[in-house]
A and B are shown apart, each in its own frame.
Chain A
Amino acid sequence: MKIGILALQGAIREHRWAIERLGAEATNILDPEDLNGIDGLILPGGESTAIGKLLIRYNLLNPISELGKKGLPIFGTCTGLILLSKNINGSDQPRLNLMDTYVERNAFGRQLASFEADMNIPVLGNEPFHTVFIRAPYIDRVENEAKSLLELDGKILMAEQNNLLAAAFHPELTRDDRVHEYFLKKCKL
């Protein structure tokens, strides 16, 4: 199984390590032709404004959006969650326009509000998952086929919609690969 990792900017190598620990192959996506033959795609954390601009400049935005509509499994963390969303509150920045979610950017505040915490994520089993949030967004609300997978104080922190998976935290910054494992199951379908 070959998983593409959008490699324009951000925490790319950490996702690669997680995918390789799970026995799959990881490949960097920098240009549209790199998208050929992948079984899934990861959109890493980084700066969403910077990555959004580069997605347009390298003609990646529409091809990825089309692949997502056709059913390619896509997993976005933090910035990736923002890019996947159809709605970004108060912003017209570029996006893939795939998930029926409403996203609030830098929603917890600046870096001093960044945090880590153990949380129970039912789809991952009973063992708590250690979540790391960096200047994180959250999802205000979901509609249509989008489903919340994790919620804290009314804020949705992880969601899925058929082939799409989004997390406001960074599972790639921990050694617990259960979120990536959950994503790879979508890629095997």
Chain B
Amino acid sequence: MTDIKKETGTFTVKTGLAEMLKGGVIMDVVNPEQAKIAEEAGAVAVMALERVPSDIRAQGGVARMSDPEMIKGIQDAVSIPVMAKARIGHIVEARVLEALDIDFIDESEVLTPADDKYHILKDQFKVPFVCGARNLGEALRRIGEGAAMIRTKGEAGTGDVVEAVRHIRQVNEDIQRVMSATEMELMTIAKDLGAPYELILQVRKLGRLPVVNFAAGGIATPADAALMMQLGCDGVFVGSGIFKSDNPAKRAKAIVEATAHYNDAALIAEVSKGLGDAMRGQSVAQMDDRDKLAGRGW
């Protein structure tokens, strides 16, 4: 058993962690107490950040990577994986998070972008990345850069699920187009979607995205989570939806159960009882375009 050659930071190991998170709920937390509530409720991971998206919206200003000390506190408080956000294109924030031994980095449009032209070249890192996408082309560009996991962008901090639904529907529609095309048409589809051709071929072979795809951006209720699962997402991120509601512990548990049993309407009815008010939220249809986060990144 000597001379075993261990390889770390490979794409298999990165996507492997994403596979293990499937069917689970990843919750935004801003301190160790919330992280413990999330773990206790059955979260598969937590996202450590300084302000949840709805507060970032309300308070404005530049949103950056979280304080390493706060991240460390959350890592010490729970045994589940801890994720954190870096600004789009901010190579150094990502390196800092990697140095903190974070389990997953979200290169996120929720933070103020650091680069309006380039995303991080994620395959140069040993830590896995998750990135937001609104359609198949965007998802495959991020995977081309090395992302090991994709999530819908949705519209974070609104509590309005409509954008997340729009984005997963669009991804599904684009995959259908790839599946029903003749081989001759695939290069044109790659050009239309702005997607790497080789990854279009992979999607055609698999009939799905080559990596795990979660829902994010506006999920606030157990029914929202189950809806995203029924539309084909592999799991759910809940940001402001839990700790901006009346009873975070109870709502967190209910969302975990609804995600695991997303086809069981009777169970979703049962767990949705008496949760108190959901986050108040804001309707995306009534927002100015400049207030929307999903347009950040390309």
Bound-complex Cα distance A132 to B19 (A) = 12
Q: Please tell me if the beta carbons of A50 and B42 are within 8 angstroms of each other in the complex.
A: yes
> Which B residues lie at the A interface, using CB under 8 A?
1, 4-10, 12-13, 16-17, 19-24, 39, 41-45, 75, 79-81, 98, 101-104, 126-128, 256-257, 260-261
Contact with B along A94-111 (1 / 0, CB 8 A): 000000000001100111
Chain A residue numbers with a CB within 8 Å of B4 are 117-119, 152
Contact of A8 among B1, B23, B126 (CB under 8 A): B23
Interface SS of B by simple majority: loop
B17, B19, B128: residue with the most chain A Cβ atoms closer than 10 Å: B19
What 10 A-B pairs are tightest by C-beta distance, nearest first?
A111-B103, A9-B23, A47-B44, A115-B6, A50-B42, A134-B16, A114-B13, A53-B42, A11-B19, A115-B8
Give chain A nearest CB distance to B148 CB in angstroms. Answer: 10
Q: Please tell me if the beta carbons of B19 and A173 are within 8 angstroms of each other in the complex.
A: yes
Contact with B along A30-68 (1 / 0, CB 8 A): 100000000000000111011001100100000000000
Chain A residue numbers with a CB within 8 Å of B12 are 116, 132, 173
Contact of A115 among B13, B19, B39 (CB under 8 A): B13
Give chain B nearest CB distance to A92 CB in angstroms. Answer: 12
- Given the interface contacts A9-B260, A115-B6, does A50 sit within 8 Å of B80 by beta carbon? yes
Q: Please tell me if the beta carbons of A114 and B24 are within 8 angstroms of each other in the complex.
A: no
Bound-complex Cα distance A46 to B75 (A) = 18
Chain B residue numbers with a CB within 8 Å of A120 are 1
Q: How large is the interface on A (under 10, 10 to 19, 20 to 34, 35 or more residues)?
A: 35 or more
Bound-complex Cα distance A135 to B44 (A) = 13
The reply on A124 being an interface residue by CB < 8 A is no
Chain B residue numbers with a CB within 8 Å of A79 are 20
Give chain A nearest CB distance to B100 CB in angstroms. Answer: 10
Q: Please tell me if the beta carbons of A152 and B1 are within 8 angstroms of each other in the complex.
A: yes
Chain B residue numbers with a CB within 8 Å of A30 are 260-261
Bound-complex Cα distance A85 to B126 (A) = 31
Bound-complex Cα distance A111 to B8 (A) = 9
Chain A residue numbers with a CB within 8 Å of B256 are 50, 53-54
Q: B101: nearest residue on chain A (CB-CB)?
A: A110
Q: A157: nearest residue on chain B (CB-CB)?
A: B1
Chain B residue numbers with a CB within 8 Å of A112 are 8-9, 98, 101, 126-127
Chain B residue numbers with a CB within 8 Å of A106 are 79
The reply on A170 being an interface residue by CB < 8 A is yes
Q: A151: nearest residue on chain B (CB-CB)?
A: B1
